[in-house]
């Protein structure tokens, strides 16, 4: 769809850019007035001379020309942004729907502006679209306006095609929002794996309780703790041999007495 959208976007940008600011709009207006198909552009001059407010009909207004140029430039810019977003994988269906819905609204307004009626002159009403859209680009049209008439017809055709293309993109985005069977199966698998991970016991929950904590020994005892308790006189008293004290001091005291007795002898 990008390949289809690119040439139409460039064509619209070229056609509306060439017609800006007023290549043939006023001349078309004057030509239709001479043939009795629409109002006369001199009404703006008469209204200004009589200090009356006057707004040009939409098909012949400067606002319509500027609006067409702006949305054509904006469409090319958005097309480049969409291409980059699609390449990096962030053009999600919801984002695509919002973008293309906005573009459909803009191009629909452009269609309305170009095909709006001209009822400003009661003597020469134009209930439908301007003559360059509804009539052929031939006699009684002036020869120097035939090429411009075809160009204006082409610009209006590009406007309709752009609106239809963006509407098709909205439909594709809506269809893409509904997950297919493969996506639903993959999502259910991910959810099942996540639930099984949440229900699995933690690794540290299987470790036995630490001694001295709730459910363990109240006084954790290690070989080093036992040795320090005996040296400091705390804890369970050691087996005594003769004199009071711990076994190491008892043996040292007996050795000193034996050495002293042998010296006296």
Report residue 31's pLDDT band, with 50, 70 and 90 as the boundaries. very high
pTM of the predicted structure, to 2 decimals:
0.67
Our count of domains for the chain comes to: 2
Same domain (yes/no): 230, 173? no
- Alpha carbon 69 to its chain centroid, in Å, reads 26
Residue 11 lies in a domain: yes
Domain range for 240: 222-264
Same domain (yes/no): 11, 142? yes
**pLDDT value at 11 more than 80:** yes
With contact defined as beta carbons under 8 Å apart, do 142 and 134 qualify? no
Residue 204 lies in a domain: no
Which H helix or E strand runs over 169? helix 146-177
Mean pLDDT score of the chain: 80
Whole-number Å distance between alpha carbons of 54 and 242 = 129
Specify burial of residue 246 (Cβ count, 10 A radius: 0-12, 13-18, 19+).
middle
Residue 196 lies in a domain: no
Of 63, 73, 180, 160, nearest in space to 113 by CA = 63
pLDDT, tens digit (0-9, with 9 covering 90-100), for 203-243? 445 555 555 555 444 555 566 666 666 666 555 555 554 44
Who's near 60: CB < 8 A, 6+ residues apart? 25, 26, 28, 29, 38, 41, 118, 130
pLDDT, tens digit (0-9, with 9 covering 90-100), for 81-104? 999 999 998 889 999 999 999 999
Residue 209 lies in a domain: no
pLDDT, tens digit (0-9, with 9 covering 90-100), for 54-73? 788 899 999 999 999 999 99
Whole-number Å distance between alpha carbons of 17 and 9 = 12
Same domain (yes/no): 9, 134? yes
Q: Quote the pLDDT of residue 221.
A: 59
Share of the chain above pLDDT 90, in %: 40
């Amino acid at each position: 769809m990008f390949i289809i959208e690119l040439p139409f976007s460039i064509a619209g940008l070229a056609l509306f850019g060439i017609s800006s600011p007023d290549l043939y709009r006023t001349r078309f207006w004057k030509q239709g007035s001479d043939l009795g198909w629409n109002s006369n552009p001199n009404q703006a001059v008469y209204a200004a001379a009589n200090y009356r407010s006057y707004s040009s009909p939409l098909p012949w207004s400067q606002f319509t020309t500027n609006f067409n140029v702006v949305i054509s430039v904006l469409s090319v810019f958005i097309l480049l942004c969409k291409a980059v977003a699609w390449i990096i994988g962030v053009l999600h269906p919801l984002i695509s729907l919002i973008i293309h819905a906005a573009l459909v609204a803009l191009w629909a307004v452009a269609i309305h502006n170009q095909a709006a009626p001209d009822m400003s002159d009661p003597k020469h009403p134009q209930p439908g679209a301007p003559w360059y859209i509804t009539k052929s680009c031939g006699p009684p049209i002036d020869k120097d306006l035939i090429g411009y008439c075809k160009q204006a017809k082409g610009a209006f055709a590009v406007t309709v095609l752009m609106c239809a293309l963006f509407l098709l993109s909205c439909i594709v985005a809506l269809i893409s929002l509904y997950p297919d069977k493969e996506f639903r199966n993959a999502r259910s698998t991910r959810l099942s794996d996540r639930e099984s991970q949440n229900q699995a016991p933690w690794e540290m929950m299987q470790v036995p309780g630490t001694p001295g904590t709730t459910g363990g020994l109240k006084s954790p005892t290690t070989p080093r703790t036992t040795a320090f308790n005996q040296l400091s006189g705390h804890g369970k008293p050691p087996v005594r041999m003769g004199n009071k004290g711990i076994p190491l001091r008892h043996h040292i005291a007996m050795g000193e007495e034996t050495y002293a007795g042998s010296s006296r002898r």
